[in-house]
Amino acid sequence: MKYVLSFFGIGLVVLAICLFAGQKKDVSLQQPIRIHVVANSSSTFDEEVKYFVKDVVVEYLNSEFSNLKGSEEVLDYLEENIPKLQDVVDLALKEKKAGYSSSISLLKERMPARVYDGHVFEEG
């Protein structure tokens, strides 16, 4: 089982990316936190918004995670800071003039095996 941080618009398209708890370029990977960004629709605009939000979230969380040590600290941070993260996402949506807001939840879900940046993440 993996923890999943989900950002919901209204749509069905899912993009999964991984953030590595406290990862630095030369540090081995710890248990990943997978993020799902769900587009509001399958329109070109909403897909662009989804990728923009994903990039904003990854940049923001990587800076926030830089001082955390291990998956437990990352999960604690996420649980305590969902409102702050929602503000970051909603600001990104506003910047793109999306006309809708986000909903964020932290879930423990079974995930399929995936490959990101040459790293294999097993099913679980």
Q: For residues 33 and 6, is the Cβ–Cβ distance under 8 A?
A: no
The pLDDT tens digits of the residues spanning 25-71 come to 333 345 667 777 888 888 999 899 999 998 998 889 888 888 888 77
Is the pLDDT at 21 greater than 60? The verdict is: no
For residue 72, name the pLDDT band (cuts at 50, 70, 90).
confident
- SS3 of the chain: helix, strand, coil, percent, to 5: 40, 25, 35
For residue 7, name the pLDDT band (cuts at 50, 70, 90).
low
For residue 22, name the pLDDT band (cuts at 50, 70, 90).
very low
Region of 6 please: left (phi>0), alpha (psi -120 to 50) or beta.
beta
Tokens of 66: 């830089």
Q: For residues 31 and 2, is the Cβ–Cβ distance under 8 A?
A: yes
**Nearest 5°: phi and psi at 26?**
-105, 15
Total residues found in the chain within this entry: 124
Q: For residues 17 and 4, is the Cβ–Cβ distance under 8 A?
A: no
Q: For residues 42 and 12, is the Cβ–Cβ distance under 8 A?
A: yes
Tokens of 42: 């399958």
For residues 74-82, average pLDDT: 88
Looking at mean pLDDT, say which of 32-36, 84-88, 118-122 comes out highest.
84-88
Is the pLDDT at 87 greater than 90? The verdict is: yes
